[in-house]
A and B are shown apart, each in its own frame.
Chain A
Amino acid sequence: MRSLVDKILGPHRHDTLIAWLFVAPWAIGFLIFGLYPIVMSLYYSLCQYDVLRVPRFIGLENYQALLFEDPYFWKSLWNTLYYVVFRTPLSIFGSLFLASLLNQQLKGMPIFRTIFFIPSIISGVVLSVIWLWMFNPEYGLINSGLAFFGLPGPLWLQSASWSKPALVLMSLWTVGGGRMLVFLAALQGIPKHLYEAVELEGGGWWTKFRHVTLPLISPILFLWTVMEVIFSMQVFVEAYIMTNGGPANSTLFFNLHLYNKSFNDFQMGYASAMAWLLLVITLAVTWFQFRLSRRMVYYEGGN
Chain B
Amino acid sequence: MFTTLSAPRVWKLTKRALAYLFVSSSALLFLIPFLWMLSSSLQTEQEIATTDMRWIPETFHWENYVNVFEAMPLWTYFQNSIFVTSLFILGTLLSASLVAYAFSVLRWPGRDKVFILVLATMMLPMQVTMIPIFVLYKNLGWLNTFKPLIVPAFFGGGAFNIFLLRQFFLTIPRELFDSARIDGCSEFQIYWRIVLPLAKPALATVGIMTFLFTWNDFLGPLIYLSDKMKSTMALGIVMFVGQHKTEWALLMVASVIMMLPVILLFFFFQRYFIRGFMMSGIKG
Query: Is A158 an interface residue when CB atoms closer than 8 A count as contact?
Result: no
Measured CB to CB, the closest approach of chain A to B257, in angstroms, equals 10
Query: A275 with B127: in contact, given A26-B99, A131-B33, A178-B280 (CB under 8 Å)?
Result: yes
Query: Is B49 an interface residue when CB atoms closer than 8 A count as contact?
Result: yes
Query: Is B138 an interface residue when CB atoms closer than 8 A count as contact?
Result: yes
Query: Is A88 an interface residue when CB atoms closer than 8 A count as contact?
Result: no
Would you give the 0/1 interface string for A102-131, flagging 1 where the beta carbon is closer than 8 Å to chain B? 101010000110111111011111100111
Contact call A278/B128, Cβ cutoff below 8 A:
yes
Query: Is B197 an interface residue when CB atoms closer than 8 A count as contact?
Result: no
Contact call A176/B128, Cβ cutoff below 8 A:
no
Contact call B125/A34, Cβ cutoff below 8 A:
no
Query: A133 with B27: in contact, given A2-B186, A22-B98, A26-B99 (CB under 8 Å)?
Result: no
Query: A237 with B219: in contact, given A29-B156, A34-B124, A181-B278 (CB under 8 Å)?
Result: yes
Question: Residues of B contacting A219 with CB < 8 Å?
Answer: 283
Contact call A23/B219, Cβ cutoff below 8 A:
no
Interface residue SS majority, chain B: helix
**Complex CA distance for A122 and B19, rounded to whole angstroms:** 27
Name B31's contact: one of A115, A123, A230 (CB within 8 Å): A115
Query: A121 with B212: in contact, given A22-B106, A38-B128 (CB under 8 Å)?
Result: yes
Query: Is B114 an interface residue when CB atoms closer than 8 A count as contact?
Result: yes
Contact call A30/B127, Cβ cutoff below 8 A:
no
Query: A19 with B106: in contact, given A129-B251, A139-B49 (CB under 8 Å)?
Result: yes
Query: Is A73 an interface residue when CB atoms closer than 8 A count as contact?
Result: no
Query: Is B78 an interface residue when CB atoms closer than 8 A count as contact?
Result: no
**Complex CA distance for A286 and B123, rounded to whole angstroms:** 10
**Complex CA distance for A244 and B241, rounded to whole angstroms:** 12
Name A22's contact: one of B23, B51, B102 (CB within 8 Å): B102
Contact call A102/B23, Cβ cutoff below 8 A:
yes
Please choose the segment from B59-67, B68-76, B172-180, B258-266 that sits at the chain A interface, where 4 or more of its residues have CB less than 8 A away: B258-266
Name A101's contact: one of B23, B114, B241 (CB within 8 Å): B23
Name B237's contact: one of A129, A178, A271 (CB within 8 Å): A129
Number of B residues whose C-beta is below 8 Å from A? 91
Query: Is B80 an interface residue when CB atoms closer than 8 A count as contact?
Result: no
Interface residue SS majority, chain A: helix
**Complex CA distance for A121 and B210, rounded to whole angstroms:** 12
Contact call A129/B241, Cβ cutoff below 8 A:
yes
Would you give the 0/1 interface string for A167-201, flagging 1 where the beta carbon is closer than 8 Å to chain B? 00000010011110110011000000000000000
Query: Is B141 an interface residue when CB atoms closer than 8 A count as contact?
Result: no
Contact call B121/A34, Cβ cutoff below 8 A:
yes
**Complex CA distance for A271 and B135, rounded to whole angstroms:** 13
Contact call A19/B48, Cβ cutoff below 8 A:
no
Question: Residues of A contacting B127 with CB < 8 Å?
Answer: 255, 258, 271, 274-275, 278-279
Measured CB to CB, the closest approach of chain B to A209, in angstroms, equals 14
Query: Is A207 an interface residue when CB atoms closer than 8 A count as contact?
Result: no
Question: Residues of A contacting B186 with CB < 8 Å?
Answer: 2
Question: Residues of B contacting A23 with CB < 8 Å?
Answer: 98-99, 102-103, 114
Q: Which residues of B from 230 to 284 have beta carbons under 8 Å from A?
A: 234-235, 237-238, 241-242, 248, 251-252, 255, 258-259, 262-263, 266, 270, 273-274, 276-278, 280-281, 283
Contact call B125/A26, Cβ cutoff below 8 A:
no
Q: Which residues of A from 243 to 286 have beta carbons under 8 Å from B?
A: 244, 255, 258, 262-263, 268, 271-272, 274-276, 278-279, 282-283, 286
Interface centre among A25, A118, A141 (most CB of B within 10 A): A25
27 A-B contacts (beta carbon < 8 Å): A19-B108, A29-B95, A29-B152, A32-B136, A33-B129, A34-B121, A36-B132, A37-B129, A37-B136, A38-B129, A40-B132, A41-B128, A41-B129, A41-B131, A44-B132, A115-B31, A118-B266, A123-B258, A125-B234, A126-B258, A129-B241, A133-B248, A186-B281, A262-B131, A271-B131, A275-B130, A279-B127
Q: Which residues of A line the B interface, CB within 8 A?
A: 2, 15-16, 18-20, 22-23, 25-26, 28-30, 32-34, 36-38, 40-41, 44, 51, 98, 101-102, 104, 106, 111-112, 114-119, 121-126, 129-134, 138-139, 141, 144-145, 147-148, 173, 176-179, 181-182, 185-186, 219-220, 223-224, 230, 233-234, 236-237, 240-241, 244, 255, 258, 262-263, 268, 271-272, 274-276, 278-279, 282-283, 286
Q: A132-B241, A240-B238 are in contact. List 5 more A-B contacts (CB 8 A).
A: A34-B129, A38-B129, A38-B132, A181-B281, A223-B283
7 closest A-B pairs by CB: A29-B155, A178-B277, A26-B156, A182-B281, A123-B216, A40-B132, A22-B102
